[in-house]
Amino acid sequence: MRLFNNAAIWALLSHSLSLVHAIGVRPGQIKNLVTFGDSYTDVIITGDGGVAWPAYAAGYAHLSLFPFARAGATCSNDITFRPFPSLFESQLPLYFTETANGSLKADPWETIYTLWIGTNDVGANALLTGSAKASIVDVTACAINWVKVLYERGARNFLFQNMIPLQTVPLYSADSYSNRYWTAPRNTTEWNVFMTELVLSGNALSKVLLQVLAPTLHGAHIGIFDSHALFTDMFQHPSSYLNGTAPVNVTGAIESCVFELNGDTGTCTTVTGAARDSFLWFDELHPSEQADRIVAREVAAVIQGRKNRWTTWLS
Ligand SMILES: *[C@@H]1O[C@H](CO)[C@@H](O)[C@H](O)[C@H]1NC(C)=O
Ligand SMILES: *[C@@H]1O[C@H](CO)[C@@H](O)[C@H](O)[C@H]1NC(C)=O
Ligand SMILES: *[C@@H]1O[C@H](CO)[C@@H](O)[C@H](O)[C@H]1NC(C)=O
Ligand SMILES: *[C@@H]1O[C@H](CO)[C@@H](O)[C@H](O)[C@H]1NC(C)=O
């Protein structure tokens, strides 16, 4: 009599293999969330007019939050200069200082590092309007370098959040209007087309670069959180996500300010109360608080080791 049939042996074998080469983080493993990025992730100067996604995610998944993302940031001010605390010149150095002097203690095994960057790198005043020295290749390589640099300092668990379809935010939509982020004359059709290309190329490139990098970082877990797919789904199926008291709205913003060409103070319209949760965008550039709760819910699921529709673990 055969003790095991082939299927049983295969099941046993693949189970033990998966314990050795398990990809992704395990349920209960992660206790700390360390966030890097721009205003989409900043918990102090929040982009969504309310509570930012990392605070929600930390609450949903019962994590200690160490927030380093800062509004206005690009990956590196040596690549795309903006007068804000960039990832490489400000956020990472602060993290390294705090770990070196002991004010931040986080066991690498129990800690996950997230990065959501690119919005300012590809945006107006950077790649979209032309850069003398940088391209989408440079800013994407910079973002991937964040994984390497942290890995070398002991970090092991990474979630890389790619760029959303920025051509759908009011600032970059084809029927955009003059607003607080841009008041100079422009061709909104051209911006819309070019932004679509920048985001798609940057995301395709970051995916391939991470796929190449992942097998070289022994013991690391690297996941790609597909913000692009999630926001595309929210844009196309808003009633599955937006729950305010007004009709769902993915083209306007909770706080929209129409400026005159070349600037004035703007004429603002602000949606208040429970109707706000009907909107995908807070203003002409930022996701709404409800959109951020969705991001937080999905990221929390990943961190808790659950299977997630938007996440691909590469290692
Ligand atoms: C560690 O460095 C940070 C950032 O410079 C500073 O705010 C903090 O007070 C320092 N902590 C100690 C214990 O030196
Ligand atoms: C804006 O750009 C589009 C696409 O290149 C072009 O078809 C259109 O004529 C331009 N509009 C103006 C007002 O120049
Ligand atoms: C919408 O759902 C979120 C949970 O995702 C909840 O916190 C919020 O209060 C809801 N908004 C309204 C207006 O019911
Ligand atoms: C969406 O919101 C904007 C800003 O409040 C408003 O002007 C627009 O009419 C709304 N669109 C829809 C389809 O409700």
Q: Could you report how far apart the first and last alpha carbons of the chain are, in Å? A: 40
Assigned domain for 194 exists:
yes
Q: Which of 87, 148, 153, 83 is nearest to 116 (CA)?
A: 87
The pLDDT score that the predictor gives to residue 263 is 77
Distance set, CA 112 to CA 70, 147, 208, 262 (Å): 18, 11, 21, 44
Structural domain range at position 47: 28-229+289-313
Number of the ligand 3 atom closest to the C-alpha atom of 297: 5
pTM over 0.75: yes
Number of folded domains that form the chain: 1
Computed on alpha carbons and rounded to an integer, the radius of gyration of the chain in Å comes to 21
Identify the CATH number of the domain in which residue 79 sits: 3.40.50.1110
Task: Say how many Å lie between the CA of residue 227 and the centre of ligand 3.
Answer: 20
Assigned domain for 248 exists:
no
Q: Are strands 64-67 and 32-37 parallel, antiparallel or unpaired?
A: parallel
Assigned domain for 23 exists:
no
Q: Name the closest ligand to CA 249.
A: 4
Number of the ligand 2 atom closest to the C-alpha atom of 188: 1
Contact 230, 218 (CB under 8 A): no
For atom 4 of ligand 3, which residue has the closest CA? 293
Q: Is the CB of 59 under 6 A from ligand 4?
A: no
For atom 4 of ligand 2, which residue has the closest CA? 190
Task: Tell me the pLDDT of the chain (315 aa) as tens digits.
Answer: 444 455 554 454 444 444 455 899 999 999 999 999 999 999 999 999 999 999 999 999 999 999 999 999 999 999 999 999 999 999 999 999 999 999 999 999 999 999 999 999 999 999 999 998 899 999 999 999 999 999 999 999 999 999 999 999 999 999 999 999 999 999 999 999 999 999 999 999 999 999 999 999 999 999 999 999 999 999 999 999 999 999 999 999 999 999 998 878 899 999 999 999 999 999 999 999 999 999 999 999 999 999 999 999 999
Q: Is the CB of 14 under 6 A from ligand 1?
A: no
Number of the ligand 2 atom closest to the C-alpha atom of 193: 4
> Which class for 122: exposed (0-12), middle (13-18), buried (19 or more C-beta within 10 A)?
buried
The Cα 59–Cα 167 span in angstroms is: 31
Assigned domain for 93 exists:
yes
The Cα 185–Cα 178 span in angstroms is: 8
Assigned domain for 195 exists:
yes
Map tokens 């092991």 to a residue. Answer: 156
Assigned domain for 161 exists:
yes
Number of the ligand 1 atom closest to the C-alpha atom of 97: 2
Task: Say how many Å lie between the CA of residue 240 and the centre of ligand 3.
Answer: 12
Assigned domain for 1 exists:
no
**How does pLDDT run across 19-46, given as a tens digit for each residue?**
455 899 999 999 999 999 999 999 999 9
Assigned domain for 47 exists:
yes
